[in-house]
Amino acid sequence: MTTAKTIHLTLKVVRQTGPDQKSNLETYAARNVSTDMSFLEMLDVVNEDLTLAGQDPIAFDHDCREGICGMCGAVVNGRPHGPQEGTTLCQLHMRHFEDGDEVVIEPWRSRAFKVIKDLVVDRGAFDQIIQAGGYISINTGGAPDANSLPVPKEMADQAMDAAACIGCGACVAACPNASAMLFTGAKISQLALLPQGRPEAKRRAAAMVAAMDKLGFGNCTNERECEAVCPKNISIVHIARMNREFLKAGFF
């Protein structure tokens, strides 16, 4: 069992008061930070000091703080969600930093994700992609009816892997083209792999891809940055499946 220690950090945080305002890089001292703290808890302590000093606290997104909701997210030293692989920002702990480190914190960068304030961005574009077709609208019955449909275990496992996507937007922030294809691919895959999702598969793929393009997300050029930073380790295999589903939709 490791014993927590205290470290001191220098934070360089992008501050922006609104969507149409210029951003500035401000420097703050994070002192007496326990290595048992999460990254967001560290920001809470810094914000408490800023509030006591009469300064505006750093705005950042958070909700469950359990790596489930997808609300949190910032670029830490050039990497969305920070240095720990397969981890959301709220689950990143300060033991992964060293005493005296300089930590640069930025918001997601994408034309489709407008900065609201500081590290808070509007990820409503993801909601619009889901609204375009990320659902089943036909009558599929109740749970007993669904359980009566045989689904091969391999297909069920792949659908569950795709459904693990929490929509945090790290894939967009990491992609050189600000592409949302990993997110969209996962949401298309989780339904296309199941029999309940097949009747609307063609319409779904065409509508969700069209919404993604309309919202200003870039195209995929197989850089695989999205896969590398995804906190749920979503595979780009789902992008390939999305492309196949989209091509099928074009022939009918």
CATH number for position 45: 3.10.20.30
Q: Which of 77, 94, 117 is the last residue of a domain?
A: 117
Residues 64 and 96 in one domain: yes
Instruction: Give tens-digit pLDDT for 7-52.
Output: 999 999 999 999 989 999 999 999 999 999 999 999 999 999 999 9
Distance in angstroms (rounded) separating the CA atoms of residues 229 and 84? 9
Residues 64 and 150 in one domain: no
Residues 157 and 207 in one domain: yes
Closest-CA residue to 75 (of 212, 169, 205): 169
Residues 105 and 129 in one domain: no
Average pLDDT over residues 162-173: 98
Residues 50 and 153 in one domain: no
At 3 the pLDDT is 74
In a domain, 1, yes or no: no
**Whether 212 contacts 168, CB under 8 Å:** no
**Whether 100 contacts 11, CB under 8 Å:** no
Residue 116 has pLDDT above 60, yes or no: yes
In a domain, 206, yes or no: yes
Q: Which of 117, 149, 180 is the last residue of a domain?
A: 117
Residues 214 and 184 in one domain: yes
DSSP characters for 155-194? Answer: HHHHHHHHHT-----HHHHHSTT-B-HHHHHHHHHHHHTS
Instruction: Give tens-digit pLDDT for 173-187.
Output: 999 999 999 999 999
The mean pLDDT of the chain is 95
Residues 90 and 136 in one domain: no
Residues 98 and 10 in one domain: yes
Q: Which of 101, 117, 133 is the last residue of a domain?
A: 117
| Chain centroid, CA 43 distance in Å | 19
In a domain, 11, yes or no: yes
Domain containing residue 191: CATH number = 1.10.1060.10
* Residue-number span of the structural domain to which 22 is assigned: 6-117
| DSSP, res 13 | E
Tokens representing 229 are 């930073």
Closest-CA residue to 30 (of 17, 41, 19, 14): 41
Average pLDDT over residues 58-62: 97
Residues 191 and 230 in one domain: yes
Residues 40 and 140 in one domain: no
Counting the structural domains of the chain, the total is 2
Residue 252 has pLDDT above 90, yes or no: no
Closest-CA residue to 26 (of 59, 69, 70, 63): 59
Residues 110 and 127 in one domain: no
Residues 10 and 98 in one domain: yes
